[in-house]
Amino acid sequence: MSRAKLARRIIVSVVAALLVVILVGVVVVVGLVRHSFPQTTGTISVPGLGSRVSVLRDEHGVPQIYADSSADLFEAQGYVTTQDRFFEMDLRRHITAGRLSELVGSAGLDTDKVIRTMGWRRVAEQELPTLAPSTRQYLQAYADGVNAYINQMGSPSQMGFEYTVLSQKVDNYHVEPWTPVDSLAWLKAMAWDLRGNYDDELMRARLAGTSMSMAHIAELYPDYPFGSHKPILSSQDWSPSGSGSGSDTPGSGNTTSGSGSDSTGTTSAADASSTGSDGASSSASPYPAYLGGKTAQAAYAQVTAALDAVPTTLGRGDGIGSNSWVVGSSRSSTGKPLLANDPHLAPGIPGIWYQTGLHCRSVGKDCPFDVAGYSFSGLPGVVIGHNQTISWGFTNLGPDVSDFYLEQVNGDKVLRDGSYVPLTTRRETIKVAGGNDVSIDVRSTRHGPLMSDVLPSVADAGRGAPVDGKKDPGSYDVSLAWTGLQPGHTADALFAIDKAQSFEQFRGAAKNFDVPAQNLVYADANGHIGYQAPGRIPERRSAIKGSPPGFWPAPGWDSRYDWTGYVPFKDMPTSYDPPEDYIVAANQAVTASDRPFLTTEWDYGFRSQRIRDLLAATPKVTPARMSQIQGDTRNTFAPDLVKYLLPLKVDPFTADAQRLLKGWNYTTPTGQSRNGAAAAYYNAVWSNILELTFDDELPKDLKADGGGHWMQVVEVMLEKPRDSWWDNKGTAGVLEGRDEILRQAMVQARLELTKQLGKDPVTWQWGRLHRLDLQHPVLGTDAVPGYVRVLFNRGPWDMPGGSSIVDANGWDAGKGYQVDWAPSMRMVVDLGHLDGSHWVNQTGASGHPFNDHYDDQTDAWATNQTFPWPFTESAVRKATKDELTLVPGADKG
């Protein structure tokens, strides 16, 4: 036999052996994966049930549950959700309790330190006994259902493939019983990611410690453009009440808000005087001495690092928000209201929402639920959706509900109105899988926990620096005051909304919606539409005279800057059947009034105004038109910028790309088209403009992300060609202006896309740059080997849209073009024909990799397609593919 033949035989044998090994490996992995798949047909005995429960699943595995009592309904919801999503639930409760290290080892330690310091679970424990008895009963029934499943499965590996993988690192992991507090603690995580402006407050404080002037910083926080981007409640259907009381009774055309003048906008940073804090002269500097010194900057750095350690649970960043709107009967093609909602949150797999229907077979006082929509895994009830009479949607109100306080600490005491008073302290012990326990001492002032204690590895530069010319005997630390750290009644509100049958009942429920404060839009089958802003909004004075309250960190040693109370619910903006007969709430300013003060950190309204324009141009809005609007990809800021880009003289190579912008319709589609090529170039130019204009002066971790905030900043600056921000500080001896920066950005963008997409601009595609990868929160990260990640992650998808676009597949210009946030789901509810409503989820019903429903909705979601949403029992049964019956079972002994 020749050597060549022998070599070929050896190669063939080796390849065959490898294929056998791979095949065996695949069979083993698939077997392990399928081991945790849920039973969706037949009959299962569930201890604690009072009577038979039916679980009907459609072609996407979405469960609709039918029961005879509320207790059975929520126990079944807990059981069924655990079938599909238990690892996600277990992960969430470990995060919210500051116990992630028990599940993933030392990689979770920094997260645990921060969350233990804030005490999310401690707050949930305090909250539980204050809730309505019925709410506590529902939470307990849900927990009973979760625990019934846990007890039946036995080992963790039978509940999720993730446990099989993690068992290689974490030995003898034991699944603990579920409790009502586990459900409540998730509301704290939801509130944290949607809390408001703390990022901007810290950013301003850090910039104040540099050589930047107040005026220079103020340009980064322009006034809201009320003239071009209408608020949620326009002047046509709202006028502020002089007394601030308004009417609590819904009626045609009645829209009320809090007290205050009918001003054109809230105070911006540009209006801030240079007098410093109230009562303190600061002629040498526009800032109080405490705000910008080395001690303060060291403390801010500690806090920034600490808060960055908290994992994203829902989503953070400029552009994170939502679209929602309602169209009244006179504007609807069906003669009944239509409601649309698509919350914009961080993408991941499994997706944030869990679709379900909860139906009492006989709706009445003892079993009042007939509701369907989107919930969170681990939380009973429906968060967003509709019942048999009303529908509702949420978008983030984004009020300023958190403040940082600089504290003068000396040992175990803190300065307070001229005297040192004791800190509150407690010891927290964190268990670490595969390692030793770690203990931390949590210290708090009357404002809240000292967040600067959490990660002491951050340099302590500047400690002991002078304060207002006097030697500081201790140092600066930073405490966090946040409404989410106080017990609330949001859980009561959610169940009450699920049962509400009128706007009056809806508003009564919203009164308890403490955190996170949301814009609530409403529609009902009787033809009415409405809006309500709920939430616990603190009242306080500004730390710097002339600036809005909460705009800057405050001196914690001066009680004048403490919170003095909360905005009364009767003073919160509301509207019922406005004359316009439609309401758009997409994170823009709520009203043009400055009272009640909510925040200055609104989304700047590029999305909301586009939705308003499309609705105004459609005399009779159909359900299909509602869906089309959700998929709109026009960048409404682009026309203003492009008119400055086109006249500029550039080299011939760059001009090939510049010509794409001529005739562009400003849409941002995926796929091969001239508009897609123009969108790719425009966004690359935009990214380079931000880098050349702002990133040369901002800290490296605070790069301009390119969302609506930055669009408004540049919108104003475009009319100031010699503004100092245009000058690139990286080019010493050269003073650039607007046109030179825009020219350089076009040149750099042309070179960048040539390398990434090819030499011919006509072939460029926005979708090839703008991609979405769905990543598992634990086993899909770069810290995990690639052969493991591929089991849990999915993608990429080429995506249309972008930041501050209705189809809000957002991206961070400081990091790249990949999708960082996106519509987490979409729904359109037809109040005239509930079975004609449509919905889609970002991933699927299942949290089990390789289950048919792990990502079976993603392709449709990515292209703005939706699925029929049956609601009546006849329609649900017609769509049913699997039926599971849960029957009462005896408790094990």
Residue 572, classified by CB atoms within 10 Å of its CB into exposed (0-12), middle (13-18) or buried (19+), is buried
Q: Of 183-197, 440-454, 522-536, where does mean pLDDT reach its minimum?
A: 183-197
pLDDT surpasses 80 at 82? yes
Max mean pLDDT among 240-254, 540-554, 865-879 falls in 865-879
The Cα–Cα gap between 538 and 33 comes to 48
pLDDT surpasses 50 at 711? yes
Per-residue pLDDT at 196 = 66
Q: How confident is the model at residue 34 (pLDDT cuts 50, 70, 90)?
A: confident
Per-residue pLDDT at 560 = 94
For 408, the token pair is 């003068």
Per-residue pLDDT at 893 = 41
Is the distance from CB of 182 to CB of 378 less than 8 angstroms? Answer: yes
The 8-class DSSP code of residue 186 comes to H
Share of the chain above pLDDT 90, in %: 76
For 519, the token pair is 């814009």
Query: Of residues 700 and 331, which shows the higher confidence score?
Result: 331
Pairing between β-strand 867-868 and β-strand 384-387 as defined by DSSP bridges: unpaired
Task: Indicate the residue type of 74.
Answer: F
pLDDT in tens, 133-155: 999 999 999 999 999 999 999 89
Task: Indicate the residue type of 666.
Answer: Y
pLDDT in tens, 722-780: 999 999 998 989 999 999 999 999 999 999 999 999 999 999 999 999 999 999 999 99
Question: Looking at residues 709-724, what average pLDDT do you find?
Answer: 98
The Cα–Cα gap between 887 and 173 comes to 30
pLDDT in tens, 190-230: 888 887 667 788 888 888 878 888 899 999 999 999 999 99
Per-residue pLDDT at 319 = 54
Q: How confident is the model at residue 431 (pLDDT cuts 50, 70, 90)?
A: very high
For 691, the token pair is 């880098």
Q: Of 43-47, 153-157, 492-496, 509-513, where does mean pLDDT reach its minimum?
A: 153-157
Q: How confident is the model at residue 465 (pLDDT cuts 50, 70, 90)?
A: very low
Count Cα atoms within 13 angstroms, Cβ side, for 486. 18
Q: How confident is the model at residue 14 (pLDDT cuts 50, 70, 90)?
A: low
Per-residue pLDDT at 306 = 87
Whole-number average pLDDT of the chain: 89
Question: Looking at residues 172-188, what average pLDDT do you find?
Answer: 95
- Dihedral sign of CA atoms 822, 634, 600, 249 in order: negative
Count Cα atoms within 13 angstroms, Cβ side, for 159. 29
The Cα–Cα gap between 397 and 210 comes to 31
Q: How confident is the model at residue 17 (pLDDT cuts 50, 70, 90)?
A: low
Q: How many CB atoms lie within 10 A of CB 732?
A: 6
pLDDT surpasses 50 at 251? no
For 396, the token pair is 């983030």
pLDDT surpasses 70 at 1? no
Per-residue pLDDT at 172 = 83
pLDDT surpasses 90 at 660? yes
Per-residue pLDDT at 98 = 96
> How would you classify residue 244: left for phi > 0, otherwise alpha for psi between -120 and 50, otherwise beta?
left
pLDDT surpasses 70 at 249? no
pLDDT surpasses 80 at 85? yes
pLDDT surpasses 70 at 2? no
Token match 């103020």: residue? Answer: 218
Q: Of 37-46, 89-98, 253-262, 531-540, where does mean pLDDT reach its minimum?
A: 253-262
Q: What residues contact residue 166 under an 8 Å CB cut-off, 6+ apart?
A: 103, 104, 173, 778, 779
Task: Indicate the residue type of 432.
Answer: V
Q: How confident is the model at residue 700 (pLDDT cuts 50, 70, 90)?
A: confident
Residue 472, classified by CB atoms within 10 Å of its CB into exposed (0-12), middle (13-18) or buried (19+), is buried
Per-residue pLDDT at 545 = 82
Strand ranges, E, within 819-861: 819-823, 825-830, 838-841
Is the distance from CB of 753 to CB of 693 less than 8 angstroms? Answer: no
Per-residue pLDDT at 645 = 98
CA distances from 202 to 224, 554, 730 (A): 20, 11, 25
The Cα–Cα gap between 229 and 612 comes to 9
Q: Of 113-127, 269-283, 662-676, where does mean pLDDT reach its minimum?
A: 269-283
Token match 């005739």: residue? Answer: 663
Question: Looking at residues 154-164, what average pLDDT do you find?
Answer: 94
The Cα–Cα gap between 588 and 595 comes to 16
CA distances from 99 to 180, 435, 712 (A): 17, 13, 41
The answer to whether the pTM exceeds 0.85 is yes
pLDDT surpasses 80 at 505? yes
The Cα–Cα gap between 404 and 414 comes to 15
Query: Of residues 469 and 584, which shows the higher confidence score?
Result: 584
Per-residue pLDDT at 272 = 34
> How would you classify residue 300: left for phi > 0, otherwise alpha for psi between -120 and 50, otherwise beta?
alpha
